[in-house]
Amino acid sequence: MSLLEVNDLRVSFRTYGGEVQAVRGVSFQVKEGETIAIVGESGCGKSVTSQAIMGMIPTPHGKVKSGQILFKEKDITKLSKKKLQRIRGSEISMIFQDPMTSLNPTMKVGSQIKESILKHQKRSKHEAKKKVIELLKLVGIPDAEKRYSQYPHEFSGGMRQRVVIAIALACDPKLIIADEPTTALDVTIQAQILDLLKDIQQKRHSSIILITHDLGVVAEVADRVAVMYAGVVVESGTVVEIFENPKHPYTWGLLKSVPKLDSLEKERLIPIDGTPPDLFAPPEGCPFASRCPYAMEVCVSHMPDTQMFSNQHYARCWLNDQRAATVKELIAVGRERHV
């Protein structure tokens, strides 16, 4: 059974220029103990999808227009603010991108973690403090007892992100949404934070939705990947399927723009030319058509159907239609890659 099921989710924002259709019919599932990565460029709708799951779409401009978000089989888009607040932080929690803005600079870190425990769990202040120190140790902060009484500015960037992770774990959530959790960190610290997330997931059997623009990060931690473009999931599959046998030109583009660390040869990284479409008036056909080197006439006028390649791997691209010509690159990109 899935812990989370997102069905045909549509989210829009009203602006002076008109309605921005940020998420346009996104569906995916997250099983217990699974890590799914949602990948794509800025503005593809991945962060808006995670905000919708957290019930944090800014109102009155933003709105979940239609679709379902079933958490433990209950549609959380239908819950009252109060009920949603009870779930948020206790059963579903979020690790934000920038620890500097998600921590309160005027409050000691111990109190910030304790606040969440006291709000959602029936524990005395003494018990909560004990749990905070356990959490600081779990996320790898040395000298936890002393660190409990320090302020965020006394921590390095990597240590602050560990504190943010400790806050997210405070109430033993079943689902953790990590929105670009390593973007603000340097490469060595990024690797440590990814290892920590993997470790926590194995120890606690939590499910994780990892939001990222970086396919390198995905290979490290995810079980499954959903590739988003212009508010739509254009390809989804297991990490092996996406890296070894990608079926969508946008996924090929993303893979070509990731450096291969195991290669001794110098490799030229190829950016994806062009810009995503205007989501005030999304195209009728494939949203990637204006940037796709393989675009055909049908791509501009008709949105591709979903083609299944295994029970988990699917893509939306006319090239996979049996009437389309074979494109060698499809196979070549995948074979070059190793997870």
Half-sphere exposure of 323 (CA within 13 A, CB side): 4
Only segment of 19-27, 112-120, 121-129, 291-299 that touches ligand SF4 (CB under 6 A): 291-299
330 binds ligand SF4 (CB under 6 A): no
Q: Confirm if 180 and 187 have CB atoms less than 8 A apart.
A: no
- Dihedral angle at the C-alpha atoms of 5, 286, 252, 196, nearest 10 degrees? -30
Of 125 and 302, which has the nearer Cβ to ligand SF4?
302
Burial class of residue 133, CB neighbours in 10 A (0-12, 13-18, 19+): middle
Closest contact distance (angstroms) between CB of 278 and ligand SF4 is 16
Q: Using N-to-C axis directions, what is the helix angle for 125-138 and 109-120, rounded to 10°?
A: 120
How many positions of this chain bind ligand SF4 (CB under 6 A)?
Answer: 14
Tell me how crowded residue 297 is: count the other CB atoms within 10 A of its CB. Answer: 10
Q: Per-residue x/- marks for ligand SF4, 213-252, CB under 6 A? A: -----------------------------------xx---
Q: Confirm if 216 and 232 have CB atoms less than 8 A apart.
A: no
Of 26 and 177, which has the nearer Cβ to ligand SF4?
26
Closest contact distance (angstroms) between CB of 250 and ligand SF4 is 6
Paired sense of beta strands 74-75 and 62-71, if any = antiparallel
Interface residues for ligand SF4 in 297-326 (CB under 6 A)? 299, 304, 317-319
294 binds ligand SF4 (CB under 6 A): yes
Of 61 and 302, which has the nearer Cβ to ligand SF4?
302
| Strand-pair partners of 95 | 178
Question: What residues line the site for ligand SF4 (CB under 6 A)?
Answer: 248-249, 286, 288-289, 292, 294-296, 299, 304, 317-319
